[in-house]
Structure 1
Amino acid sequence: MSPCTALDHLNGAPTVELAEQLRGCAPIESWVRHLIASRPYPSRESLLAEASARARTWSTAEVLGALAHHPRIGERAGDRAVALSAVEAEHSAAEQAGVDDPDAWVLANSRYERRFGTVFLIRAAGRSQAEMLAELERRLLLDDEEERAERAEQLRQIALLRLDALVAD
């Protein structure tokens, strides 16, 4: 008999337990419910493909709602009144490892929030602070619709990275 994999665990996990883990990837209930209902997944790749496809259907309201679960870049999870689960806080801390000067983000975040009315969201994992600041500057030049699409894409990337880590063996 082969050992139980992380995918096997996901496929057999109780709904309540799995829903909490998936919310840590992306706190969007329609996505969480869909991924749970679509079990079992024959492979990690099929899970990620389904999660990605479903994420491309997120509404603007769902994405904005999920932003309440993302601290600002350069901000620790406890710096403002953001209700993060332990899983979300752990993800956020690991993903923002490239932030070496949180103070540099105060002005940048403020400019973005004045322009778009919400927190700046970027897949921080694997990016340096300089890369993320340059991306913020680029995105400040986008129109509202372009930035809405960019924000949704960044959330999709974050969710998939977190989900991939969840099922890593």
Structure 2
Amino acid sequence: MTLDELNHLDIDSARDFFRQCCTSDLWLESMANNRPYSNQDELLSTADKSWSVCKENDYLQAFEGHSKIGDVSSLKAKYANTSDMAGHEQSGASTASDETLKALAEGNTVYQTRFGYIFIVCATGKSADEMLSLLNDRLDNHPENELEIAAAEQHKITRLRLNKLIEWRQMA
């Protein structure tokens, strides 16, 4: 989709578009309502500002739009609009050993029990072993610190998705 096409979507279609990037209602409403965007910088700046006003409940809502690392199909029915993108983002998990995938699944369970939400990491470019190491390192974090780390990872994911979904070549 081009930025011009995004700018001309009706409000419900714009919400659906932004939901592919982040499932926080506050964030996607802000993004849909702040159109039109004149360029990539304005879109990303608005994404940053919109995320900066989000709070814990907004973060948790955004986290619900993700499948567990290594378990891309777990939320496919609920969040079909993000599953394809998540599969690509988690491609490092697709070549992992069974032992690493089992450790990721077990670590995710421990993480979710400790923090109340799934492990959020910007998985693009990371191997399953790297993600497992990050998960294990973050298990010792204080819950308030971990929420901020997870929120920052969510925002990285959101920005990557925005950049993948918009065809910038047509902007001049």
Is 2:62 the partner of 1:63? Answer: no
Change (3 A) 1:14 1:81: closer
Gaps of 5+ in 2: none
Is 2:90 the partner of 1:91? Answer: no
Distance 2:77 2:102 in 1: 19
* Structure 1 moving runs of 4+ over 6 Å: none
Structure with bigger RCO (C-alpha 8 Å, 6+ apart): 1
Change (3 A) 1:81 1:10: closer
TM-score normalised by L of structure 2:
0.87
Change (3 A) 1:14 1:57: same
Quick one: which amino acid aligns to residue 30 of structure 1? L
Matched-pair contact (CA < 8 Å) for 1:31–1:55: yes
Distance 2:87 2:34 in 1: 30
TM-score normalised by L of structure 1:
0.89
Count the aligned residue pairs: 163
Distance 1:54 1:127 in 2: 27
Structure 2 counterparts to residues 121-160 of structure 1, below 5 A: 121-160=120-159
Deviation of 1:82 (Å): 6.2
Deviation of 1:126 (Å): 1.5
Identity of aligned residues (%): 28
Distance 1:28 1:80 in 2: 16
Indicate which of 25, 33, 41 corresponds to 2:29: 33
Deviation of 1:25 (Å): 0.5
Quick one: which amino acid aligns to residue 88 of structure 1? T
Higher helix share: 2
Deviation of 1:117 (Å): 2.1
Gaps of 5+ in 1: none
Matched-pair contact (CA < 8 Å) for 2:75–2:83: no
| Partner residue, 1:115 | 114
Matched-pair contact (CA < 8 Å) for 2:66–2:75: no
